[in-house]
Amino acid sequence: MKLQQEDTVSIMTLSVLIAAYNERETIDEILRKVLREEIVHQVIVVDDGSTDGTRERLSAWTGMDERITVLCHEVNQGKGACIRRALTHSTGRITIIQDADLEYSPSDYEAVIRPIVMGESKVVYGSRVLCADNEYPLDWFRVGSFAVTQMANLLYGLQLTDEPTCYKAFDTEFLRSLPLSATGFELCPEVTAWTQKRGESIVEVPIRYSKRSVEEGKKIRWQDGVFAIWTLLQVRFK
């Protein structure tokens, strides 16, 4: 659904945060797709000490579009460290997290941020499960995501269908107010946990998804699922 005219002032300020680690094959295309979205006001990409040429590709983007900021970690630190660093540069009223691969569709941004623009919530998650047409096979990645989602629901009284989704959008000031410290993939559950501790609801909307394989560069591992659950437990009993 297209946003109405009266919404356009607030959506002018959408910042997109991208962590990129060895994503040479997809970084250019995902940036093109993100920048094609008119509602995107700022893109902050953090190269996480890539060794495959991603960093060189990113430097070619500097100056190509005034909306892009490229930051570099000399040493690999993890997705959470990248997103937290990017967040300190975010000037948008709304901030969304984007991976440097092609699993998610930036053309879903409007739908994802709509509940924030409309004042319904400060936090929105795009759910891969709620969209029946998705290429979302029932493999170990999906089972792991399901387990993490159920644990989040159990510990925090939620009814989420897809907690580990990459597409998480926030009122930027709200996200900044959370005491985040995660450096890796456990940033996602840490954000979910603190959102609940602050009493803020999470709205879900359906999004498209096309999974990539490990051969195509998917890097998350079963250990990250265990760490996610551990993070949910830690914050719950803090």
Ligand X SMILES: Nc1nc2c(ncn2[C@@H]2O[C@H](COP(=O)(O)OP(=O)(O)OP(=O)(O)O)[C@@H](O)[C@H]2O)c(=O)[nH]1
User: Of the two residues 43 and 235, which places its CB atom closer to Mg ion in the complex?
Assistant: 43
CB of residue 107 vs Mg ion: minimum separation in angstroms?
17
Task: Decide if residue 101 touches Mg ion (CB under 5 A).
Answer: yes
- Give CA–CA dist 23/118, Å, rounded: 34
Task: Decide if residue 224 touches Mg ion (CB under 5 A).
Answer: no
- Total residues in contact with ligand X, by rule CB under 6 A: 20
Which residues, numbered 204-223, are part of the site for ligand X (CB under 6 A)? 218-220
Task: Decide if residue 23 touches ligand X (CB under 6 A).
Answer: yes
The residues pairing with 123 across neighbouring beta strands, listed in sequence order, are 170, 202
Using the rule CB under 6 A, which residue among 10, 13, 69, 76 binds ligand X?
76
* Cβ-contact 138, 150 below 8 angstroms: no
Give the count of alpha carbons within 13 A of 237, CB side only: 5
Question: What single-letter amino acid sits at 88?
Answer: T
At a CB cut-off of 8 Å and minimum separation 6, what does 95 contact? 14, 15, 16, 17, 87, 169, 170, 172, 175
- Give CA–CA dist 158/116, Å, rounded: 19
* Pairing label, strands 94-99, 14-20: parallel
CB atoms within 10 A of CB 74: 8
Q: Which stretch binds ligand X (CB under 6 A): 75-83, 155-163, 174-182, 191-199?
A: 75-83
User: Of the two residues 76 and 177, which places its CB atom closer to ligand X in the complex?
Assistant: 76
Which residues, numbered 27-56, are part of the site for ligand X (CB under 6 A)? 48
- Give CA–CA dist 150/162, Å, rounded: 9
The item of ligand X, Mg ion, none sharing an interface with residue 20, based on CB under 5 to 8 Å by kind, is ligand X
The item of Mg ion, ligand X, none sharing an interface with residue 114, based on CB under 5 to 8 Å by kind, is none
The item of Mg ion, ligand X, none sharing an interface with residue 115, based on CB under 5 to 8 Å by kind, is none
Site residues (vs ligand X, CB under 6 A): 19-21, 23, 48, 76, 78-79, 82, 99-101, 103, 164, 166, 185, 188, 218-220
